[in-house]
Chain A
């Protein structure tokens, strides 16, 4: 029996090694997702500063602040993504651990709220720096930008067909 033990351990290690990446690939590589989100955030900031036609002084005040908030949001967003992935896994497990599920749901909700609070924080700061016309431009730009994301996504889905996801 003892001579089969190393082989059994090897088989176990190999099967766990293939199972873990398979689970991760359901939502893609978290690092790659993070980089893509950062890229999108940077482009958002670039287009925002163009749309608002900020003065040098305003840019000096706002750009570092906006960059910092976007980074903080990205961290929260990343954690939310990981929690969502865990939540999916927990739901798929039998039996699902109710306590853990409740904890994850609370964390995801908290993260969602925290990101929205960051957006409110940005609006408060912009209120003190922007002119009325710039405030109006900010509002319109934000709506148009977010809508254009949705439209781009629709195009992507038309091109690639529906994407299957786990429930």
Chain B
């Protein structure tokens, strides 16, 4: 559900899932609060319209030329920049560029990456609560969890599991009817005419 929330905020939620998602949201205060938080975060971190990547590329140049134009008298004057002042300006420029770069990176990341700051228990508790009350939703959650497990763990090879019939005790757990069925199936498969 957290991924669906994130996808929905990004406008990437599949239409087939949207109706189910909206239905869940109506009944789940936890998810509604989480969604509001996400929306607020995204609107707060969105870059201003005039702060395009090109803007930041030319930022240093414009800053340099502005600094040069602040006090032409001082630039062309008789007292040139001392070495210390030049270093101070260079450091200021560097800090400004680093700040701009950080801001740009953070604002991009907020729009695309999955948020991981919601504690695991908090995000799972409402799901479990709803699954307990709604069997249909429980089935959906179950399928999602099983699909995730299947995705994360490779399907075990049949050959890795020992057949239960290899254990002598296995045969003692069978009823007479089951033994008869096994025998008749073996007869049939072996080509000896089927059940007698």
Interchain CB contact (< 8 A) of B163 among A39, A73, A150, A160 = A150
Chain B interface (Cβ < 8 Å from any Cβ of A): 158-159, 163-169, 171-183, 185-187, 189-190, 192
Q: Say yes or no: is A68 at the interface (Cβ < 8 Å to chain B).
A: no
In contact, B185 and A152 (Cβ under 8 angstroms): yes
The reply to whether A39 and B159 contact each other, CB–CB distance below 8 Å, is: no
Give bound CA distance, A155 to B189, whole Å: 14
Q: Are B165 and A149 in contact, CB atoms less than 8 angstroms apart?
A: yes
Given contacts A28-B175, A36-B176, A163-B175, contact A43 B190 (CB under 8 A): yes
Chain A residue, CB-CB nearest to B173: A165
A100 within 8 A of B: no
Give the size of the chain A interface in residues (CB under 8 angstroms).
Answer: 39
With A32-B176, A80-B172, A156-B178 as given contacts, are A39 and B166 in contact (CB-CB < 8 Å)?
A: no
Binding site for B on A (CB under 8 A): 27-29, 32-33, 36-37, 39-40, 43-44, 46-47, 73, 76-77, 80-81, 84, 108, 111-112, 115-116, 143, 146-150, 152-153, 155-157, 159-160, 163, 165
CA separation between A76 and B187, bound complex, in Å? 24
Cα–Cα, bound, A109→B177 (Å): 25
Binding site of A, secondary structure by majority: helix, strand, loop or mixed? helix
Q: Chain A residue with minimal CB distance to B166? A: A146
Q: Please, how many angstroms separate the alpha-carbon atoms of A59 and B121 in the complex?
A: 65
Q: Is the CB of B176 within 8 A of A28?
A: yes
Closest chain-A Cβ to B170's Cβ sits at a distance in Å of: 8
Contact of A36 with B183 in the complex, beta carbons under 8 Å: yes
Of the candidates B172, B173, B177, which one forms a contact with A160 in the assembled complex, judged by CB atoms under 8 Å apart? B177
Q: Inside 8 A of A155's CB, which chain B residues have their CB?
A: 181, 185
Given known A-B contacts A36-B180, A150-B163, A43 and B186 have beta carbons under 8 A apart: yes
Within the complex, the shortest CB–CB distance from A137 to chain B, in Å, comes to 15
Say whether B187 contacts A33, CB under 8 Å. Answer: no
Task: Report whether A112 and B168 are in contact in the complex, using a CB–CB cutoff of 8 Å.
Answer: yes
User: How far is it, in angstroms, between the C-alpha of A112 and the C-alpha of B177 when the chains are bound?
Assistant: 23
Please give, as numbers and ranges, the residues of chain B lying within 8 Å of A112 by CB-CB distance: 167-169
Contact of A150 among B164, B176, B177, B183 (CB under 8 A): B164
Our pick among A37, A84, A116, A159 for the contact of B179 (Cβ within 8 Å) is A37
Closest-CB distance, A147 to chain B (whole angstroms): 5
Whether A43 contacts B183 by the Cβ 8 Å rule is yes
Question: In the complex, A155 Cα to B181 Cα: how many Å?
Answer: 9
A residues in contact with B186, CB < 8 Å: 40, 43-44, 47, 152
| B182 and A111 contact, CB distance less than 8 A | no
B192 CB → nearest A CB, Å: 8
